Amino acid sequence: MSTASGVITSLRGLTVEVRITGERPDARELLLVEGMENVFLEVNFFRANTAVCLNLTNVQGLQCGQKVSRSHQKVTVPVGPDTAGRVFNALGEPLDQGEPVNTNRRSITEPTGTKSYRNSEKLELLQTGLKVIDFLTPFVKGRKIGIVGGAGVGKTVLTTEMIHNVAKDEKSMSIYCGVGERIREGNELYETLKDTDVLKNTVMFFGQMDSTPAIRSMVAPAAATAAEYFRDEEGRDILFFVDNIYRHVQALTELSTNMGLVPSEGGYSPLVFSELRRLQDRLASTEHGTITSVQAVYIPADDLSDPAVQAISQQMDSVLVLSRVVAESGIRPAVDLLKTTSSLLTPQIVGERHYQLAGRVQAIIQKYDSLKNIIAIVGENELSPADRSDYQNAKKLIQYFSQDFAVAEHLTGKPGEYFTLEQTLSGIEAILEGRDEPKKEEEKEVPKPEAAPEATAEQKPEEKKHE
């Protein structure tokens, strides 16, 4: 070990204060503790001649008076082709019982993107096969979608279904970032991707519920580092999935409280929102490639006005809101059609037909919402014929956006459904025009051609006999 550069003077949870006695370390540098090889202290900020550090490994046994020294290194994670199909934690250590990857590692705190962004005039739509998403929140390459909802309304299942449907493309590279979620869910996702042969083009990073807030706060930057490498060095188009980005904010808040920083609005530290913005800026498209991001956002106490939820939503191009009321009615995905918004739903991006249909659907759902209170008092029969028709059409539309998921087939027993955008638009047009909803292509198949000649052959002797 090199010459000691500091002495531990204070221990408070994960926070370790080190009085600098020698060479001053850099911000985010890892410090080594004398006699404890498995302990890493990350320098967070300085207070006079004291470095306030985080105990990343949460190893117990630290004591005041212990000497620390510089490592001249920062937290790094492996990047590159060798990481495909692998699962790592925030420190780049494998979680899949595979061999460590040390061939190419990068610091998670140093963004590598350029400021030369792609021309936004030519936008490419990606189809998810999910009717409500393709219709109300278009999935555009290089943009961000937020899936917002409270506990238990289906954020993780919807995110997993999107991975299943979108990440099948051999050309795409998927990065999955699990922050503060259940270990069971992470294992189920890993097995699902493995069974569907999607895992080979996916890199996964996890810092789950049992991890310390220090590790949970570092998972998203670690995954962003991997995405930046594939985007900038290999020119790949990346699908970046985060479940759950609110847990990243929550972990940063826990650390701020632990370090004694003064909270502001809603109990969140101001540093939390600057760190969040810094992360979102890394998930951008450059002249080399794109990063298309889907981020699940937990709503504490189902409160959409929560400052952290608002801060995250403002940085999304589309916000898909999941409602507990809709979920309790048995509709899946449980999307609130009125609160869901998208800045990408324009004629230039989705076309005039899609744009006009979206406007009509939003108007009729708004009318349905206002008529519900009237019907509760006077009954549906008291409505005018036009209002009654709109009310019935709105109910059909709400039911139409319900869909069975492929990733939930083992639970529901129902096969997953995939709808093209054309099928979705045609179905909505049929409902609005009072026609029967068109069936999917596979449902419209005529009887097999070989059956017809057999029937004809059997009929011929009868016809001759009759003659």
Residue 198's φ and ψ, nearest 5 degrees, are: -90, -20
243 and 175 in contact (C-beta within 8 Å)?
no
Residue 72, CA distances (Å) to 2, 31, 108, 267, 363 in order: 11, 8, 15, 35, 60
What is the rounded (10 degree) CA torsion for 76, 155, 128, 145?
A: -60
Residue with tokens 């970032």: 177
* Active-site residue identified among 17, 29, 161, 181: 181
* 198, 167 Cβ separation under 8 angstroms: yes
> Annotated catalytic, 437?
no
pLDDT of residue 117: 56
Contact 68, 35 (CB under 8 A): no
Q: Amino acid identity of 49? A: N
CA distance 334 to 328: 8
Annotated active-site residue 181? The verdict is yes
Given a contact cutoff of 8 angstroms between Cβ atoms, the answer to whether 271 and 252 are in contact is yes
| Contact yes or no for 201/170 (Cβ under 8 A) | yes
Q: Which pLDDT score is estimated for 440? A: 54
Q: What 3-state class would DSSP assign to 17?
A: strand
The per-residue b/e assignment along 457-466, b for 16 or more CB within 10 angstroms, e otherwise, is eeeeeeeeee
pLDDT score of 185: 86
pLDDT of residue 345: 94
Of 12, 182, 278, 395, catalytic = 182
Q: What is the DSSP secondary-structure string of 107-144?
A: ETTS----S-PPPTTS--EE--S-HHHHHHS-EETT-E
CA atoms within 13 A on the CB side of 212: 16
Handedness of CA 20, 24, 27, 29 (dihedral sign): negative
pLDDT truncated to tens, each residue of the chain (467 aa)?
457 789 999 998 889 999 999 889 999 999 999 988 888 899 998 988 999 999 988 788 899 999 999 999 999 999 999 999 999 999 999 999 889 998 899 999 887 655 545 555 568 899 999 999 999 999 999 999 999 999 889 999 999 899 888 887 666 789 999 999 888 888 888 988 888 888 888 999 999 888 899 999 999 999 999 999 999 999 889 999 999 999 999 999 998 888 888 877 778 887 888 899 999 999 988 888 899 999 999 999 899 999 999 999 999 999 999 999 999 988 999 999 999 999 999 999 999 999 999 999 999 999 999 998 888 888 888 888 999 999 999 999 999 999 999 888 888 888 999 999 999 999 999 999 987 666 554 444 444 444 444 444 444 444 444 44
Pairing mode of beta strands 76-78, 87-88: unpaired
Q: Which one is catalytic: 155, 216, 231, 332?
A: 155
